[in-house]
Structure 1
Amino acid sequence: MNPASASSDFLALLNANQGILHRVCRLYCSDADDRQDLYQEVVLQLWRAFPGYRPTAKISTWLYRIALNVAISNLRQRTRRPAPERLGDVPPEVAPPPESGPDADDLADLYRAIGRLSDVEKAFILLYLEERTYEEMADILGITQNNVRVKMHRVQDKLRHLLTQPV
């Protein structure tokens, strides 16, 4: 594959699947600047991995796998060396709802509850909200379908519990 063709193929892939990448970044970063930084890091890692992509795998599986691995690694790095508080930052607990409208409060509550999940649990919820099948989840996460079912049930129970707890 020539470099110009690879570049245009990659850009077409990226443009067609930006939603996946933005959703992963939104789930793992509450700050807009952090989300943008994570998005750029995900794109860089996708570009590096692109020559090794084999069309036998679903493109969404490949994208999710890389994006989730980068997001989880990024989150772990950020928690090891926490950034100093900047003036004007709004803590995630009181951040404004991501959208306006009648369901905005429910959506904000959901994001706060998801924010309290572990890194891996967030990945399960993201894939569930993306309406991925258990087979796709197993492929993306590198575990068996049965393990996906068990873990998904536990994560849903935990999320229900978090949503009913007062903040």
Structure 2
Amino acid sequence: MNKNQKHNFIELLEEHQNIVHKVCRLYTNDYDAHNDLFQEITIQLWKAYPKFRGDAKFSTWMYRIGLNTAITLYRKSKRRIQTQDFDAVQFRIKAEDYDDTEEEQLKLLYSAVKQLNDIEKALIFLYLEDKNYKEISETLGISEVNARVKMNRVKTKLRTILNP
């Protein structure tokens, strides 16, 4: 990779790094795992960048690499014993004038999404990122019709999880 390509990559990564953070938040439960996944996705983006042709938007390409990396690592981690990080248990004194309704709803949504399988997580993540079905299908490498069908099933599954 030449100096100009390196500069362009770093610039694009800095501009779109929130995509990677969102993927990490979806597939990890603690700070260290988040940082490890962020680093791994960055490495995979770096390795793949020389092959980036610009056929799709950089952000779409970045979603694809990030989600594929997270899904691969997520599947590998399923084989290990699951533990809960002590930092994940939060103790908080609630202020009287603080309305945490939206925050609680977001926590419930993330908790429900974490119960989905890896592909379903990716689908709902892209949907919540306001990606249209064409972009979702390109990112996940499935047909647009398949993306719509899967999305309807995921929405139904989330409703069931959230409203037992």
Inter-CA distance 163–84: structure 2 relative to 1 (3 Å threshold): closer
1:69-148 matches, cutoff 5 A = 69-82=68-81, 88-90=86-88, 101-148=100-147
Q: Which amino acid aligns with 1:10?
A: F
1:60 pairs with 2:59? yes
- 1:40-66 deviations in whole A, cap 9, x for unaligned? 000000000000000122212211110
What CA deviation, in whole Å up to 9, does each residue of 1:90-126 have, x standing for no partner?
Answer: 36xx798xxx843111111111000100000000000
Structure 2 equivalent of residue 3 of structure 1: 2
Distance 1:55 1:80, change over 3 A: same
Separation in structure 1 between the aligned mates of residue 107 and residue 129 of structure 2, nearest angstrom: 18
Mapped partners of 2:55, 2:126: distance in 1: 21
Q: Structure 2 vs 1, CA of residues 68 and 38 (structure 1 numbering), >3 Å: closer, same or farther?
A: same
What SS is found at the alignment partner of 1:80? Answer: coil
CA deviations over 1:18-52 (Å, ceiling 9, x no partner): 11111111001111110110000000000000000
Alpha carbons of 1:85 and 1:112: their partners in 2 closer, same or farther (altered >3 Å)? closer
User: Where does the alignment leave 5 or more consecutive residues of structure 1 unmatched?
Assistant: none
1:164 aligns with 2:163: yes
Which residue identity lines up with residue 157 of structure 1 in the other structure?
T
1:163, distance to aligned residue in structure 2 (A): 0.7
**Is the Cα contact below 8 Å between 2:29 and 2:88 reproduced in 1?**
no
Q: TM-score, normalised by structure 2?
A: 0.89
* RMSD, aligned CA: 1.9
Which blocks of at least 5 consecutive residues in structure 2 are unaligned?
93-98
Are residues 106 and 83 of structure 1, via their aligned partners in 2, closer, same or farther at CA, if it must alter by over 3 Å?
A: closer
Segments of 4+ moved more than 6 angstroms? none
Q: Deviations over 1:68-99 (max 9, x none)?
A: 0100011111111236666x3436xx798xxx
Identity level (%): 44
- Give 2:135's aligned amino acid: E
Superposition TM-score, scaled by structure 1 size:
0.87
